[in-house]
Amino acid sequence: MTKTSKKKLTIVISGPPGSGSTTIAKKLAKKLKLKLFVAGKLHKQLVKGWKKKEAKAALDAWKTDIGSSYKTHKKRDELQVKIAKKGNVVICSKLGIHFVGNLSKYKIWLDVPLKVRAKRAAGRDNIPLKEAEEEIRQREKIERREWKKMYGFDSFNQKKYADFVLDSSKLSEEETVDRVLQFIKSKN
């Protein structure tokens, strides 16, 4: 990829909670030497100790006044659009395909079954599998309901607008990044 071709390059990585979108976005940004913006990090930072148990922090943030506020979400969504317009970035965002879609060259949806996402979250956050699965289920329910109220669409429907849908449940992080890179190369 030449310097000019990546100057305005914006890539969106999305998927359901626990799909690995943040991890893959970080690794992809590093490999492509692009900036990284993780919308969910702003949400999780509303909860003290969020780095220890990310799945719980994401869920708990929704239970705060600021975390469930339309104003908070609107600001974050406007920020990701502003960042996307500048380019040279990988954006990891649960609503990124919807809000940044036409500003991005590639829209990637990581499609991973709930059981696999729960297993990954349990390992990352060092919690029992059942607890991880319940937290992810609750978070999905809240996010889908609240975003539907706020914006009028189901966040999971973004999958059909993705340029590339990848089930990475049987892939390592590196294999997932490689598949995304292969897709990007095939489109250049």
In angstroms, rounded to a whole number, what is the distance separating the alpha carbons of residues 144 and 149? Answer: 9
The proportion of the chain whose per-residue pLDDT surpasses 70, expressed as a percent, equals 88
Name all contacts of 42-49 with Cβ < 8 Å and 24+ positions apart.
42/76, 43/67, 43/76
Q: What is the predicted pLDDT for the residue at 40?
A: 75
The domains of the chain, with CATH numbers, are 9-176 (3.40.50.300)
Ranking 41-50, 86-95, 178-187 by mean pLDDT, the lowest is: 41-50
pTM over cut 0.95: no
Q: What is the pLDDT of residues 157-180, one digit of tens each?
A: 999 999 999 999 999 999 999 999
Tokens found for residue 157: 């429907």
Residue 21 scores a pLDDT above 50: yes
- Are residues 50 and 66 in contact, defined by beta-carbon separation less than 8 angstroms? no
Which is nearest to 140 in space by CA: 12, 15, 44? 15
